[in-house]
Structure formats: C-alpha cells, structure tokens
Amino acid sequence: MPSPAAGARSPESLGSPRALPRVVVVGSGFAGFSVLRHLERLLPPDAAELIVVSPVDHLLYTSLLPQVATSEAEPRHLAVSVRAALRRTTLALGHVVKVDFRGRTITVRQPNAVHAQLRWDRLVLAPGAVTRTVDIPGLTDHALGLKNLAEAVYLRDHVLRQFEYADACEDPVVRRARCTFVIVGAGYTGTELAAQMVRFTRRAVGQYPRLTERDIRWILTDLAPRVLPELGEALSRRAARVLAGRGVDVRLRTSISEAGAGCVRFIDGESVATHTLVWCAGVAPSPLISTLGLPTQHGRLVVDARFQVPATADVFALGDAAAVPDVTRGCQPAGQTAQHAVRQGAVAARNVAASLGHGTAKPYRHRNLGFVVDLGGTAAVADPLGIPLSGVAAAAVTRGYHLWALPCLTNRTRVAADWLLDTLTPRQIVQLGFLPPAKSSINAAERIDIYHSGHS
Ligand SMILES: Cc1cc2nc3c(=O)[nH]c(=O)nc-3n(C[C@H](O)[C@H](O)[C@H](O)COP(=O)(O)OP(=O)(O)OC[C@H]3O[C@@H](n4cnc5c(N)ncnc54)[C@H](O)[C@@H]3O)c2cc1C
C-alpha cells in the first residue's frame, strides 16, 4: 500500500488516539448522514469513535437537482455540510474502493489518488447508487446524467450552449437539432426535469435574438405505459397533461436504440437530430458493491431487516446500495428513495448502537409518506399520506416537504430565499463552465471507473 503523499492525511491518522470501538460509515448521503446523526445522539461520547468516509464533504439533497439545472436553486444550497452538522464525526475524504472483511479494514482512495487503509470495528455501507446505463450503442459516450451537482450545473451550461450555437447558425435544420432535447426516463427525475426545463428554456430563449419559443422541442420517453409510474393513474394523467400543455412531446412504450454525436434513434427506427440526451432511466448500486464478493439482489447488497450483511460480522448496509427487505411489501427490496434512506438510517443507528451494548436492535418497518413531484411554477402532483393532490395545493405541499426534509436550517433558509428571489428578480441565466465537456460523461462525472476488480 503506498504511503500518503506529503500533505495528505491518511484516514488512519484521523482516528482518536484512545482505543474506542470505531464505527466507520461509508457514504455521506441520506442514509450515511442519517445513521451518524442518530449515532451521535444514541452513543455517549466515550462509547465509540465515529468516522465517515465520503468523496464529498456534504449530504447532497438530490430532490432539488432539477432546480439547479434550471437556475432556480443555487448548487451550494443543496449541499449540507457534514463538518457543521455532525460535530462528533470525523470526515475522511475519499472513495472506499475495497473492503477486507477478515482483516477489518477498508481501502480509501483519497482525492489525490493515494490509497490508505482504515481499520473498523463496525462498518456501515451506504455508498448509494450511480446512474444505471444499459447496452445501447453510443449511450455512455453521448448521454448526460443527473445524479450530482456537477452534472446538474453541466446540463444547464450544455443547454445554454446549444442556444448559443443555434443563435449563431443560419441553417434551420442544424438550428432545430441544437434546440431539440431528449430525456429518457419518465420517473420522478425525468418528469420533473422535463417539466421544469421546458419552462426554463422558454425563459432563456428570450436572451437569444434569433431564437423563439417555437424553436424549442423537448422529448420525454419511457418504456413504461405512463409517466410517473410511482404514483396513481389519476396523478400520472395530471402530470402528463401539464407536460402536454407545455408542449413536451411525451413518447411512451418506447425508448431509444442508439445514441450518436448529433442524433438519437428510437426503437421504431425514427431518427431525431439532437445534441442533448439526458439519461434518467434508473440507478444502479455503487460499483463498490460488486467488488465485495457478497450476495446481491439486482446488484444491491443482500441484508436482513436489521441491516446486517449475512456471512459477515459487524457489517451493516442500507440505502440505495442495499436490498433492505420492506416487511410492509412482502419483504421485497425497499424502494430507492431518500425517504427510505433517511428512515433506514435511524433504525440502522439504533442497531449499530445495540451491537456496542447501547439499547436494543429492531427490524426496519417503513410507513410511506407519499411522493411529491415538482413540475415547476405552481404545477405539481403529490400524494402525501395517500391523499392525491395536484396544482397549487400539491406545489405548496411539495415545497413545504422539501424545506422540512432538508436536514439543516442554513440550507433550508437559503433554498427558501432562492425561491423567494426567483419570484422577485429575473432568473440569472448564465453558463458557469465548472466541468469541461470531456469530463461530462456519466462514467467520468460519477467516478464509476475507479474501483478495483476482484474480491477482498
Ligand atoms: C435527481 C434526483 C432526484 C431525486 N428525487 C427524490 C425525491 O424527490 N424523493 C426521494 O425520496 N428520493 C429522490 N431521489 C432518490 C434519492 O436521492 C436516493 O434514493 C437517496 O439519495 C439514497 O440515499 P443513499 O444514502 O443510499 O445514497 P446517496 O444519497 O446517493 O449517498 C451516497 C453517498 O455515498 C458516497 N459514496 C459513493 N461512493 C462511495 C465510495 N466508494 N466510498 C465512500 N463514499 C461513497 C456519495 O458521495 C454519497 O455521499 C432522487 C434522486 C435523484 C438523482
């Protein structure tokens, strides 16, 4: 194992000098953050040392990523600081790329690409998921994802760049291609994105003297028979009506079969000229999971209802990366939602604490609070506690839910201020250029290719 470069802190050196049991949490997303927040409350300070290993120093509130792509919310306001919110936890920055279950160590690839090892007494795996791509020719080269802040900001830049090209171009065919945008996946991410982006681009196009709203074309496609299959049919129909009213071309029971530099081909053979393909067709567990050599279900790590990973000792897993049995749905794997991840975090913390002699363990039992889907402006659909809502009422519930669910007052206040400012002042429609196009593919932007192959 190479030693850390000068100036780099080895995660091992971050530990407390006292010989306390060490709880290492992998991932600072909804699940990992929630585990630590509850462990800090459940465990007395001298009961354990808490460490979180994550490539980022924050929890990302992903639900508002479409609003970053549309300039409605500032990227930073979705990032909840781990250092500020988790005062007893030590942050070790990097990706866990290997787990040695027998030796009770993990290998951390630090941001400077140096690898370091970290010992654990309790290991909690919550590395989340990455965008799930499928074997469609050209997809990984040409599709953009929407899983992190860099991708959301890049998408906004990319769309505005298409308008720049279109505005400078005489050829109507080329112009049409630049102003055509295709989203694959009509679940909540793709539907929210389409509904909000069409409003954003209509506003943005006013900045380009030679373009009009009529030049803009958004296509949303899915193999499913309806948009938002997560919701009941009535709400799904209402969302479809909002999309149709805004001119989104919704194509169901179909998808694309090929992606190229300037076009996508649909399954029926139709070719659509475009330079923008956004892939929102589901997620796959973090590539770390497949390196572990442990049983998986649809790629997610198998765990029991107490989050314990079978055939290992003192290892827990939860969130999008784990197939947590949902006892309220016949023990099918729980949905990959923030709602599940946060609630699982509370119960997993209790079980980790119990394994250290504090309290008693219990199985996870989920009560669904419902879905909220922000379609932009005063349009939304939601089913809080099973009550179907649409329009202004749903929009109010949606916004209220996000403010409640954001786990830090600072972020809540800033997001609320973003929304208020957006109604009082013109939206700032500018490119930020943080991520170069060469790093914008899903594999590069989500760091999918850094993991070791082989088992620990
Ligand atoms: C655009 C979008 C909108 C969404 N909207 C909603 C919504 O409205 N409602 C809802 O309930 N759900 C929503 N979701 C789903 C929700 O974000 C996920 O279900 C939730 O984030 C899962 O939590 P998690 O902790 O398992 O994973 P994440 O929140 O993704 O956290 C994973 C963490 O692990 C870190 N990590 C990754 N790899 C490693 C590694 N190798 N080593 C160490 N750390 C690692 C990551 O940096 C991150 O900090 C949305 C998702 C997206 C992408």
Q: What is the pLDDT of residues 337-369, one digit of tens each?
A: 999 999 999 999 999 999 999 999 999 998 888
Residue by residue, what is the 3-state secondary structure of 145-203? CCCCHHHHHHHHHHHHHHHHHHHCCCCHHHHHHHCEEEEECCCHHHHHHHHHHHHHHHH
> Are 143 and 276 in the same domain?
yes
Band of pLDDT at residue 16, cut at 50, 70 and 90: low
Domain range enclosing 410:
139-281+370-444
Report the CATH number that the domain containing residue 411 is assigned in CATH.
3.50.50.100
Residue nearest to atom 52 of ligand 1 (CA): 62
* Average of per-residue pLDDT values in the chain: 93
Distance of CA 155 from the midpoint of ligand 1 (Å): 19
Asked if residue 446 has pLDDT above 50, the reply is yes
Q: What is the pTM of this model?
A: 0.94
Residue nearest to atom 51 of ligand 1 (CA): 62
> Tokens 């080895």 belong to which residue?
10
> Are 204 and 276 in the same domain?
yes
Distance of CA 179 from the midpoint of ligand 1 (Å): 31
Q: Which atom of ligand 1 is nearest to the CA of 320?
A: 26
Distance of CA 27 from the midpoint of ligand 1 (Å): 9
Band of pLDDT at residue 3, cut at 50, 70 and 90: very low
> Are 250 and 394 in the same domain?
yes
Q: Which atom of ligand 1 is nearest to the CA of 447?
A: 38
Distance of CA 2 from the midpoint of ligand 1 (Å): 30
Band of pLDDT at residue 397, cut at 50, 70 and 90: very high
Asked if residue 9 has pLDDT above 80, the reply is no
pLDDT, tens digit, 9 for 90 and up, residues 124-171? 999 999 999 999 999 999 999 999 999 999 999 999 999 999 999 999
Into how many domains does the chain fold?
2
Cβ(96) – ligand 1 distance below 6 Å: yes
**Which residues have a Cβ under 8 Å from the Cβ of 395 and sit 6 or more positions away?**
374, 377, 378, 379, 380
> Are 303 and 340 in the same domain?
yes
Residue nearest to atom 31 of ligand 1 (CA): 29
Q: Which atom of ligand 1 is nearest to the CA of 339?
A: 11
Q: How far is CA 443 from the centre of its chain?
A: 14
The length of the chain is 456
Taking residues 210-222, what's their average pLDDT? 96
Cβ(185) – ligand 1 distance below 6 Å: no
Q: Which atom of ligand 1 is nearest to the CA of 33?
A: 25
> Are 240 and 163 in the same domain?
yes
74 within some domain: no
Residue nearest to atom 7 of ligand 1 (CA): 63
pLDDT, tens digit, 9 for 90 and up, residues 266-315? 999 999 999 999 999 999 999 999 999 999 999 999 999 999 999 999 99
